[in-house]
Amino acid sequence: MRQISLHNRAVIMMVLSATIISTSGLFIRNLETATAWQVVFWRGLSLAVAILGFQAYTHRRATFTQFKRVGRLGVFGGLFLSGGLIGYVLAITNTTVANATFTMSAIPLFTAVLAWLVLGERVSLTTVAAIATAVGGIALMVGDGIATGTALGNFMALFTAVCLACFVVILRKGRAVDMLPATSIGATFSVIIAAYMMGGSPAPLLRDVALCLILGGLIAGSGHVLFVSASRALLGAELSLLALIEFILGPIWVWAFINETPSPMTLFGGSLVLAAVGGHAALSLLRPNEAAGADTQMHEAGLSIGPTINN
């Protein structure tokens, strides 16, 4: 009975995490004067502080030791995470939320390929078929982006997905220690890069700064903590399935509140990607031995699609 209770609680936390994270695109769309690099700066700053605060609350005087333990691997992972944090904002600000989120939903499949290349984890025929389907869907959306002048945003979404997949593989490689500090390191890198890229840009409105702080400290921070807690009681396939809530709700929020309507090609291509990821996760649950490598990788890394993209 206790196991069922823990599992149900984890499912609720994962649903909350994905739902909270899914509002990120809507918040960015409601900014008035902030540039993309200013969004990266303030969002990254609040995320770094939020994760540092959580670490301090959890580990007290051993907080600095936790950061030392991640070592060079954590720093390397932080570089990839910073790429994902930057790429996400540049994607959302240069294409539709639907194009960006549908493309980034393929992260578990990219992760499977990288884990095969870097860690030697096997890739099943089911995973290969899912990857082929997802690549086809992404190609349709990229083609649509070229036709509609939003190609930069589509490519940045693809760049984000690759960076975050690399981050997950690094977490998997360093799973022997708590790699959560790598998130704060990555957010700090994004702040440094954004500060350089902003140059002498005029300061954004105080309202925009407040929204960015909410994006990083509250939405991304709480979403990540909820996910990390849920990941201890859920299988990787369950995490992948529940994380799809983020990519389904994201486009719905902007459609409902600011009337941003995806093109038919985006909807078709995005449906292929979501079906590939969701179908792969469902089959992994039905045939756990076939997808054990990817499942373990997502579970032990303590990270899913949602938090890595939007944290």
Question: What's the 3-state SS for the chain?
Answer: CHHHHHHHHHHHHHHHHHHHHCCHHHHHHCCCCCCHHHHHHHHHHHHHHHHHHHHHHHHHHHHHHHHHHHHHHHHHHHHHHHHHHHHHHHHHCCCCHHHHHHHHCCHHHHHHHHHHHHHCCCCCHHHHHHHHHHHHHHHHHHHHHHHHCCHHHHHHHHHHHHHHHHHHHHHHHCCCCCCCHHHHHHHHHHHHHHHHHHCCCCCCCHHHHHHHHHHHHHHHHHHHHHHHHHHCCCCHHHHHHHHHHHHHHHHHHHHHHHCCCCCHHHHHHHHHHHHHHHHHHHHHHHCCCCCHHHHHHHHHHCCCHHHHHHC
Q: For residue 296, name the pLDDT band (cuts at 50, 70, 90).
A: very low
Read off the pLDDT of each residue in 245-253 and give the average, rounded to a whole number: 92
What pLDDT, on a 0 to 100 scale, did the predictor assign at position 309?
43
Average pLDDT over residues 19-36: 94
pLDDT reading at 302 higher than 80:
no
What torsion, rounded to 10 degrees, do the Cα atoms 120, 124, 126, 127 define?
0
Please provide the distance, in angstroms rounded to a whole number, between the alpha carbons at the two ends of the chain. Answer: 34
Q: Where are the domains of the chain?
A: 2-310
Please, which pLDDT band fits residue 202 given cuts at 50, 70 and 90? confident
Assess whether pLDDT exceeds 70 at residue 303: no
CA distance 22 to 261: 16
Average pLDDT, the chain: 85
For residue 131, what are its two tokens?
């990857």
Residue 291 has pLDDT above 50, yes or no: no
- Asked if pLDDT for residue 228 goes beyond 90, the answer is no
Given a cut of 60, whether residue 261 has pLDDT beyond it is: yes
- Find tokens 């936390």 and name the residue: 13
> Residue 236 has what pLDDT?
66
So what's the pLDDT on residue 1?
Answer: 43
Say how far apart CA 149 and CA 36 lie, in whole Å: 18
Report pLDDT for 294.
Answer: 44
Burial label for 97, CB within 10 Å (0-12, 13-18, 19+), is buried
Q: What is the pTM of this model?
A: 0.85
pLDDT value at residue 287: 67
Q: At what angle do helices 264-286 and 107-119 cross, to 10 degrees?
A: 50
In 3D space, the residue among 127, 107, 106 whose CA is nearest the CA of residue 292 turns out to be 127
What mean pLDDT is predicted for residues 157-170? 91
What is the band of 301 on the pLDDT scale with cuts at 50, 70, 90? very low
Tell me the pLDDT band of 299, cut-offs 50, 70 and 90: very low
- Is 69's pLDDT higher than 60? yes
| Residues in CB range of 239: below 8 A, 6 or more apart | 14, 227, 230, 231, 298, 299, 304
Q: Note the pLDDT of residue 210.
A: 95
Rounded to the nearest 5 degrees, what angle is found at the Cα of 186, between the Cα atoms of 231 and 298?
25
Average pLDDT over residues 99-120: 88
Q: Residue 293 — very low, low, confident or very high, per pLDDT cuts 50/70/90?
A: very low
Quickly state the pLDDT bin for 41 (edges 50, 70, 90): very high
Asked if 106 contacts 119 with a C-beta cutoff of 8 angstroms, the reply is no
Dist. CA 113–CA 100, nearest whole Å: 21
177 φ, ψ to 5°?
-125, 165
Using pLDDT thresholds of 50, 70 and 90, give the confidence band for residue 275.
very high
